[in-house]
Amino acid sequence: MPDLASAGGLRAVLHDQRAAIVRFLTARTGSMDLAQDLYQELWLRLGHANPGPIANPPAYLMRAANNLALDYRRGELRARARDAAWLDLDNPAMAAPDQRPDPAMGADEVIAAGQELALLRLAIERLPPGARRAVTLHRIDGLPHADVAAVMGISRSGVEKHIAVAMKQLRRTFWDWGAEATAASDNEHHSKEHGHD
Amino acid sequence: MTDVSIMDTAAQWHEQVTAETVDWDAFTLWLEADPGHARAYDAVALVDALIAERAPALAGLTAANDDPAGNDNGVPMRTPSRRWAGAALAGLAAVAAALVLAFLPVWPGHGEWQTGDGAQTVALADGTRIVLAPHSRLTRAGDRLALAGGAVFAVPHRPDRTLTISAGELTISDIGTHFDLRNDDGIVRLSLDEGQVSVSSTRMAKPVTVAAGQALLFDPADAQISLGAGSTGDWQHDQLSYRDAPLPLVVADIARYGPVPLRADGALAHLHFSGTLRLGTGHDPAADLARLMALDVGMSGRGAVLRAHGQGRGAASRSTGAPPIHPAPIAPTPGTPTN
């Protein structure tokens, strides 16, 4: 099958690029062990992916490694959100499994996803009105800058400034969230396999 | 404070990563220079990923909470958030499914759109634009879409991921293009006016590449797949054009895009039609089709029905010779693949 052939080809490239990818992952995650784990994960996932034609395989693999590092980081942050949320009765995860959005997903995952969304929503609501409107229209509703400018009755550069302000503030919120989570888990091991108790 | 400028630098790196222009060695060196750099980059990338995958859920939420003070300048408000209304209803499902990170290239998100009598534009955060035809349904789970009915896709080129769309038994893998896809109960038509796509199916020995200017027709009854010349999205311009198309497909289109439900008597299934039908106000495509093909159009309980009219043939033909839409039948999956 062609997808197997292309996965095999990608794995060969992955092998060739191993040093660069592990070095990148080490810098990206701050842990050499974790970098090795993620490299293995990348190897495994290439067996299932059917990426179609790829113009630049080494760059594709670096991007994939980068995505994997972000996924892992999100997993860490969610783990913290889970611990905090069990008593929230409004949470959809409290519903019986067959009433959950996706019964296959663990209750704690539902909670964690909800918290991520809640944090993002709160951060957006706290933006200055112009910044909030611009970022909502552009990033959430998908309107190009020119359309956002028309809807808001301001110039394109005004739109760009609003969006820059919004993105700075949103990043700051999630940077703070990440810093708290990191501080809270500093005493624990870094990798998932060695998670607490 | 320094972490503000670190965050700005991280944002620039993220922009280059997203635009595929990044020098990965230089990026690695920057990350190695200070452990805080990776944390800043995490925040930048996380916000970006979250907004992209939660756009449907957020559109519902922010629309419900929209502060009218933000729009007190008298400028007429467009409410593009309504696009996402269907998805917002399934808000929880969207939240949940966004967590399922099944595939390597992260192009996350989840949604579901169903149109009534009108078309609807769906804009995804990665720049993909989809115009969903009337009476059609589109679902999305990450980088996989499924279509019943019709839609025109405009997909930006992103080498890091492959958008796949399932339509009946076919899977269309897209690498940056503009095309019109229709799935009428498993009969799939695809016409492309930009780029190229790969089409695969468990019933085909190997994937078929469809290039710009070509159209593909797949009939699940015999797993026959054929390529020909195509025209993309003509229904958006209030017309439907055909070259020797099977009548049931023409009727399915009229039922979808036209003003009244229409079906055809089963005895007409073998007929083919060539020509252009007008849609929109003042036009009755069913009546026009009936006149062009010398058929009768009558009313039944659920809408109009096309029936044979005496022995008249009109423009109808019995698919003789080599029809333009079937110039080059592609090897239609014999039992086993060759290797």
DSSP B32-93: HH-HHHHHHHHHHHHHHHHHHHHHHHHHHHHHHT--GGGG-S-PPPP-GGGGGHHHHHTHHH
Choose the most confident range, by mean pLDDT, from A38-42, A87-91, B77-81, B295-299: A38-42
pLDDT range class, residue A189, cuts 50, 70, 90: very low
User: B-chain residues within 8 Å CB-CB of A58?
Assistant: 24
pTM more than 0.80: no
Structure tokens at A100: 């959950």
Phi, psi of B317 (to 5 degrees): -135, 165
Within 8 A by CB and 6+ apart from B229, the residues are: B213, B214, B215, B243, B324, B325
Highest mean pLDDT among A29-38, A47-56, B66-75, B282-291: A29-38
Residue type, B160: D
* Contact between residue A138 and residue A145 where contact means Cβ atoms under 8 Å apart: yes
Q: ipTM of this complex > 0.85?
A: no
Model confidence at A61: pLDDT above 70: yes
Total Cβ atoms within 10 A of residue A197: 3
Rounded Cα gap, residues B319 and B198, in angstroms:
28
**Structure confidence by residue, pLDDT tens digits, B72-90:** 333 333 333 333 333 333 3
Across chain A, mean pLDDT equals: 76
Helix (H) or strand (E) holding A80: helix A57-85
> Is B43 in Cβ contact with A175 (below 8 Å)?
yes
What CA–CA distance (Å, rounded) separates B180 from A101? 32
pLDDT level of residue B23 (50, 70, 90 thresholds): very high
CA-nearest residue to B75 within chain A is A153
Helix axes of A57-85 and A32-46: crossing angle, nearest 10 degrees: 110
Whole-number CA gyration radius for chain B: 24
Closest residue to B31, CB basis, from A27, A71, A92? A27
For residue B14, what pLDDT band results from cuts at 50, 70 and 90? very high
Q: Decide if B221 contacts B230 (C-beta within 8 A).
A: no
Q: How far is B177 from chain A (nearest CA, A)?
A: 14
Instruction: Check CB contact of A132 with chain B, cutoff 8 Å.
Output: yes
* Mean confidence (pLDDT) of chain B: 70
The beta-carbon neighbor of A24 closest among B24, B94, B98 is: B24
Most confident of A41-55, A156-170, B173-187, B277-291: A156-170
Q: Are A22 and B29 in contact (CB under 8 A)?
A: no
Count of all residues that appear for chain A in the document = 197
By C-alpha distance, the chain A residue nearest B14 is: A66
Q: Chain B: nearest CA to A152, how far in angstroms? A: 7
pLDDT category, B322, cuts 50, 70, 90? very low
Return the residue in A43, A67, A110, A186 with the most chain B beta carbons within 10 A, the one to mutate for interface testing: A67
- Give the model's confidence band at A182: pLDDT under 50 very low, under 70 low, under 90 confident, else very high: low
| pLDDT of amino acid B9 | 94
pLDDT, tens digit, 9 for 90 and up, residues B230-277: 555 566 667 777 777 778 778 887 877 776 778 888 888 788 877 777
Most confident range, picked from A46-50, A121-125, B30-34: B30-34
Tell me the torsion sign for CA atoms A103, B171, B139, A72: positive
Residues A142, B106: C-beta atoms closer than 8 Å: no
pLDDT tens digits for A125-169? 889 999 998 998 888 877 888 888 888 889 999 999 999 999 999
A52 closest CB neighbour out of B20, B96, B162: B162
Q: For residue A60, which residues of chain B lie inside 8 Å, CB to CB?
A: 159-160
For B330, which DSSP code? Answer: -
Strands (E) in chain B, as ranges, are 110-114, 120-123, 129-132, 137-141, 144-155, 163-167, 170-174, 177-184, 187-194, 196-201, 208-211, 214-219, 224-229, 239-246, 262-264, 272-278, 295-300, 303-308
Pairing of strands B187-194, B214-219: antiparallel
Q: Look at A16-25, A101-110, B32-41 and tell me which has the smallest mean pLDDT.
A: A101-110
Portion of chain B with pLDDT greater than 70, in percent: 68
- pLDDT tier for residue A109 given thresholds of 50, 70 and 90: low
Q: Which residue has the higher pLDDT, B51 or B116?
A: B51
| pLDDT attached to residue B338 | 38
Report, as an integer, the average pLDDT of B35-41: 93
